[in-house]
Each structure stands twice: as C-alpha cells, then as structure tokens.
Structure 1
Amino acid sequence: MKQLLLSLWRFRHFMLSSIKAEFRGRFARSKLGALWMILNPLAQATIFAIVLSEVLAAKLPHVESKSAYAIYLMAGTAAWGLFAEIVNRCTTVFIDYSNTLKKIAFPRLCLPLIIGGSALLNHLLLLLAILVVFLFFGHPPNVAWLVLPLGMLLIVLFAFGLGIILGLLNVFSRDVGQVFTIVLQLWFWLTPVVYTVESLPERFAFIHRINPMSSLVKIYQDALLLGRLPQWENLVFPLIAAVGLFGFSFWIFRRASADLVDAL
C-alpha cells in the first residue's frame, strides 16, 4: 500500500495536467470556453426552478417556501450527479484507456483519480451555478454550506471505491458495465432525490436505512434547503461504507493489477 501511494504521489503532476487537459479539451474551439461549465448546469437548474416552482407548484411538506421543492431537487441531483459520474466513468476507464495502459508505464490507479478530480471540478462549478439560482430565489448560502466538503469527501470515497471494483470486474467480464447501468438507474429511484423520505411507505423504509447514498444526499438537502447540519449518528454507516469500500478497492486493485493489461 505504501509503495502504491508513493508511486501515485510521484505522478501527481501527470494527474493534475491530465485533469487540466481534459477540462480544456471539452471546450476546444469554443469562444465561451469554460463558461459553458457554468451555463449548462445553470440552465438546467433554472429549468428545474421554473417548471417545479412556477408551473407545477410542487411543494415540500412542512416547508412554506414556494421554491423549496426546486431547491430540494437541485441539491439531491447535485449530490447524486457527483456519485454517478465517478462510478460510471470508473467502470469503463480501464477499457477506454486500454491502448494507453499497454504503451505507457505509469501507475494504473492514476486513471480513476484523474476521473475523480475531473468530476469534482465539474461538481464545484455546478454548485456555483446552483448558488446563482438560489440567490435569484432569495435563498442565500448559510453556515451549513460549510458541511458540503464533508459530503463531497464521503461521496467521492464511496464512488471511487465502488467504481474501481466495478472497473476491474468489467475488464474481465464486460457484462458488469451493462448490468450496473441498469442497477444505477434503479438505485437512483431508491434514493430520496425526487421524493422525500417521509413519503415512503413504512414497508419500504428499510431501503432508506441500508442505502448509504440516502444519508449522503441528505447532507446536501439539509444544508442547501434547510440550513441544517446533518445528524452525525446518521453518518456512521455511510462513513464506514465509504472508507471501507475505498480501502477494499485499493486491496483488490493490487491483487488484480498484474493481470489487468493481459485481460485488456
């Protein structure tokens, strides 16, 4: 483990330059450039806000604000989007970069870390766009926003650990990626992003309790909508799941990395 971490540290400049290159490559020959990183999520957030608040008049129970449901949905979507982007891209990263892995000698774990860094950058720009919409609604940030880095960290650890494991399995069996695409869609609807936990029938309440993403998404929803810090006892299970999966992914990667290139 120590050697692996040291090798990653030696290639830190390679990973940072790769993240920058991927960021710039998205907007090559675009006059607005990186501004699109804000305009696209801003447009999406604005559409959510207008349609849900003004057209559908969707409301949350026990919250009087007309824009509460739009804020709730944007917060949950932001948290879920960070998780889904990392997991989806990590699942295919070794296959997508198979030629690079065969030709260039570098720590293979750099690739998922580059994806994680890129996804985190996208996420921060999305939060900036959401902030603009919130200000438009008269819903300024508050001290509870300071807990968002904790939510980001736990989501990244959990997504990275799961993504690495799926990425390795996908190399040896390409069905894994196809199956998980369906699983991820189902997982989204089992997570309270578009509905509240209180709206779940009691017989389905256990799904919320065993789903780590429920508590992680709730960090965002509580902070962005209610200005409320999380209930720390509810984060014990997600913390164990995130750190445990992250550590396990390193272990299984070391076991499988010797056969990775041959399988590609």
Structure 2
Amino acid sequence: MLPPDSIVSYLFPWRQTWLLRQFVQRQVEARYRGSLLGIGWTFINPLLQITVYTFVFRYVFRMNWVGSTGSVDFGLRLFAGMVVFGLFSECVLRAPSLILEQPNLVKKVRFPTEILSWVSLIAALFQALLALALLMCVCLAMGIPLAPAWLALPLIWLPLLPLLLGLGWLLSAVGVYLRDLGQVLGLAVALLQFLSPVFYPISALPERVRGFAYLNPLALIIEQSRAAIFSGQWPDMGPWLVEMGACILLAIFGASVFRRLRSGFADVV
C-alpha cells in the first residue's frame, strides 16, 4: 500500500478520481458562467487570433511556409502550433497562483493539494482538444485528406502531460513563497512563444541552430503534430522516447519539490 503522499500517488491520483471530476467540472463551468456565447468562445478566440496572425505574418512580413498551398493552409499550420502552445501557456501562467487561490483548502490537513495541478491541466486540455477538433474539421472542409497518422496525435501529445504536471507542481509550490513568479513567467512565456516553432517550421531556422531548437520540449510536439495532420507522417519514436523520458523526470522532480515545500503552505497562505 502506497503512502497517500508518495510521488507515485502524485503521478497516478486514482484515489482522487471523484474529487478531480468535481473540481474540473467546476472550473470549466466557471469559465463560461455568465457568458452570452458560453463555450462558443473556445472556437471564436482562436479563429480571431489565427486571422490576425495570418494577416500579419503572411501579408505584412511576407512569410511563406514550405508546402503551404495558400493563406488558409498557412493559417491552419499556425493554428496547429498555437493549440499546443496555448495549452502550455495556460497551465504555466496559472500554476503560480494554484495554491494561493485556495487558502481554505490548503489549511485543511487532509486535502490533497497536489491534485490542483491535475485540475488545471485537465481543464486546459479540455479547451485544447476542442480547438484541435475545430482544426481537424476545418482541415477536412478545406480538402486536406484524413490520414491514418491523425490517430498518432494522442501519442504525440502524451509528453505534455508529465511536462505540464511537473511544471505545475514546481511553479505552484515556489509561487507560494515567491509572489513575483507570475510576473516573471508572463515575460518568459511571451518570449518562448517566438522561440517555439509556432509561427515558423524548424526547417526555416539556420541549420546550425536547428538542433538547439529541439531543446525546447514544445518544438518536437508541434512539429510532429503538423507532420501528422498536414503530411500524414507518423512520429519518429526515437526523439519521442527521449522527450517522454525527460518530461517524466521533470514530473518526478516537480512532485518532489512540491512534497517538500507543502508543509509550509498553510503558514504562508
């Protein structure tokens, strides 16, 4: 029998399934409560963003994408990168305030505060999957053929789970003691958006720096997602396994830091 506060219980919170479901449902409902369009904003916001970005990068900066067949195809490739990065940025930017926003729960000795990172991730993943479904529907409408490689997208996205959980535990624990962390992360995420292959493919970079680009864990996920959707290519499992292993190690590290620092949360909050 594993102790309730073991690292394995952080990674596999099967005992907290009911609690997770309740908190995720509450967070998703709170996002749209009082909104006239409700869940429609999940589709309207990315469509507006992609329209603006396509205009700026396609017509102002005169960028072109190898293999792109027009402005709509160019915009869809941008959208594919934005869906992945949007999931990442939402979880990371929210992480420092996860504990601070729940002082009543933190002061309850028996409440498993580690599940707050799971709640944030699942709620953000719900939005990302809706956006991904929209992308795939538009692709089909534009004549992009349905490829068997689309079935590999859950596998391609799988490293995001330990990556975002590890960052969630790490940043939420440190954010309790370092209140400026949220401001620093806002700048870092904005910079990372342009260092990630969201608005360009890795092949557009000089050859001498392409290897360094893959040090960014989002780079491989974005590139493999695009390759699967637009070229029907299955992911290269070698780099995927390396990334998956690194993300699992990050999750274990983040859980370890959270477990060590959580004893002081109630005193600081």
**Shared fold, TM over 0.5:** yes
The answer as to whether partners of 2:106 and 2:265 remain within 8 angstroms in 1 is no
Q: Report the alpha carbon displacement of residue 84 of structure 1 after superposing the two structures with TM.
A: 1.3
1:104-151: per-residue Cα shift (whole Å, max 9, x none)?
Answer: 741001211111110111111111221232233222432111111123
The answer as to whether partners of 2:149 and 2:233 remain within 8 angstroms in 1 is yes
The residue number in structure 2 matching 1:131 is 136
Q: How does 1:162-241 map to 2 (within 5 A)?
A: 162-241=167-246
Q: Report the alpha carbon displacement of residue 188 of structure 1 after superposing the two structures with TM.
A: 1.8
1:50-81: per-residue Cα shift (whole Å, max 9, x none)?
Answer: 776789875312x1522432222111111111
Q: How does 1:35-184 map to 2 (within 5 A)?
A: 35-45=40-50, 58-61=63-66, 63-66=67-70, 67-102=72-107, 105-184=110-189
The answer as to whether partners of 1:23 and 1:118 remain within 8 angstroms in 2 is yes
Is 183-192 or 120-129 further displaced after alignment? 183-192
In the alignment, residue 243 of structure 2 is paired with which amino acid?
Answer: P
The residue number in structure 2 matching 1:243 is 248
> Which sections of structure 1, spanning at least 5 residues, go unmatched?
none
The residue number in structure 2 matching 1:256 is 261
Q: Report the alpha carbon displacement of residue 27 of structure 1 after superposing the two structures with TM.
A: 2.2
Per residue, is there more helix in 1 or in 2? 1
* Count of aligned residue pairs for this structure pair: 263
Query: What's the C-alpha RMSD, in Å, of the aligned pairs?
Result: 2.6
The answer as to whether partners of 1:46 and 1:133 remain within 8 angstroms in 2 is no
The answer as to whether partners of 1:171 and 1:263 remain within 8 angstroms in 2 is yes
| Residue 48 to residue 176, structure 1, CA distance change in 2 (3 Å) | closer
C-alpha separation between the residues in 2 aligned to 1:183 and 1:27? 28
The residue number in structure 2 matching 1:28 is 33
The percent of aligned pairs where both chains have the same amino acid is 29
In the alignment, does 2:4 pair up with 1:3? yes
> Which sections of structure 2, spanning at least 5 residues, go unmatched?
none
The answer as to whether partners of 1:45 and 1:130 remain within 8 angstroms in 2 is no
1:23-73: per-residue Cα shift (whole Å, max 9, x none)?
Answer: 222222445433433343345446656776789875312x15224322221
| Residue 165 to residue 29, structure 1, CA distance change in 2 (3 Å) | closer
The answer as to whether partners of 1:19 and 1:117 remain within 8 angstroms in 2 is yes
Is 5-14 or 172-181 further displaced after alignment? 5-14
Is 173-182 or 27-36 further displaced after alignment? 27-36
TM score, norm. by length of structure 1 = 0.87
C-alpha separation between the residues in 2 aligned to 1:200 and 1:53? 17
| Residue 201 to residue 55, structure 1, CA distance change in 2 (3 Å) | closer
In the alignment, residue 186 of structure 2 is paired with which amino acid?
Answer: T
The answer as to whether partners of 2:83 and 2:131 remain within 8 angstroms in 1 is yes
Q: Report the alpha carbon displacement of residue 101 of structure 1 after superposing the two structures with TM.
A: 1.7
